[in-house]
Every structure is written in structure tokens, then in C-alpha cells.
Amino acid sequence: MRRRLDARRLEILRAAGRIFRQRGFAEAGMREIAAEADLSPGNLYHYFEGKHEILYFCQDRALDAMLAALRRAGAAGGDHGERLARVLVAHASCILDDLEGTAAHLEVEGLAPDLRARIVAKRDRYERGLRRLVAAGIRSGEFRACDAGLVTRAMLGALNWTVRWFDPRGPRTASEVAEDLARYLVAGLRRSEDA
């Protein structure tokens, strides 16, 4: 039964993501991941080749979700600012709601060269998509002239940094934070401001 195996694999990835998120990749132990996923340490190797492969699939899954969100949010209507804001909100939600797999996508260093190359390529594709949106806004005159690459990376930094301080049990929900953040980040680009 293929379904059962894939479902179990996903459970393990989510468990591993939770551990990676709170301990970091290097500090997380296979025994710890196994305990979180309710199986024995040795059994992990029935589902994955090793720790590096678990991290790889965590990151791959997270990037797929983000790329999908990028396509979805970018395709909908509105001016460049509105489209960009939707993408940023989607990105933040990906990280904050779906806490599990996503946080690990920051730790590219832990991968073997071949796996890392694939992740980096996919990540670059995502960043390029975002930058294109910024560049289009600049070209159209809606955004003020500036270095699109730099601004894109600044946005990504502000968004990814949220995993360091956001507390799901705090006073504000993830969506509120995501929307406020997006509003601020887009405002830095707009020529004139609107209420």
C-alpha cells in the first residue's frame, strides 16, 4: 500500500520540521525526531536515507508551498502593490501558520552539495519570481526607482526573521502580523501613499 507509506513519510517530515524549528538542524537528534514521530530511531531509516534527506524533503516541501502561493497570489488581480502584498502575506502565513516544515528552509548549510544545489535552485526560482514583481512595479512607475534585488532580499529577511520572535500564543494572530508586515514592506516602495 503506497498511500500508507507516503502518509507516514509526511508525518515524519512534519515531526522533524517541528524539532528543526525549535532546536535547529545541527542540534536536532535522530532519536529526538524519532520520539516526536512515534517510532524507533532505527525505523527512520526505513523511510529516509538519513538526516540530510529528511532536511532536504522538509525544505523541498516548504518551497513547493511557497511557489504555489506565489503563483496563486501573483495571478490574481490588482495593481503591483496589491499583488506584491498578497505574495508577502502568503509567504508569512506559510512560515507562521504551517510552522512545521517551513522554518528549516533557512538552514541550507546542513545539506550535501548535490541536494543543496537542487534546493538553492528552487529557492532562487522563488526569489526571482518575487523580484520580477518588484521590478514590474518599478517599470510601471507605481514604485519608486530602486534596486529590485536588494529590496526583494530585504523583504525576505523581514519575513523570514519572524520565525525568531513570533509567538503563536501571543496577542496577535499570524495573519494580522503578516498583513501589517506586508503593508509596511510595500509602503517602502510606493511613490505616494494611500489610506
Q: Which residues bind a second copy (CB under 8 A)?
A: 23-27, 106-107, 109-110, 144, 146-147, 150-151, 153-162, 164-165, 177, 180-181, 183-189, 191-193
Distance of closest approach, residue 181 Cβ to DNA, in angstroms: 33
Examine residue 92 and tell whether it contacts DNA (CB under 7 A).
no
Instruction: Report phi then psi at 143, rounded to 5.
Output: -100, 155
Concatenated DSSP letters of 94-121: HHHTTHHHHGGGG-GGGS-HHHHHHHHH
Q: Which does 150 bind (CB under 5 to 8 A by kind): a second copy, DNA, none?
A: a second copy
Distance of closest approach, residue 21 Cβ to DNA, in angstroms: 15
Examine residue 46 and tell whether it contacts DNA (CB under 7 A).
yes
Distance of closest approach, residue 97 Cβ to a second copy, in angstroms: 17
Distance of closest approach, residue 63 Cβ to DNA, in angstroms: 22
Instruction: Residue 75: name the closest of 18, 144, 151, 132 by CA.
Output: 132
Among 4, 165, 167, 194, binds DNA (CB under 7 A): 4
Cell of 17: 520540521
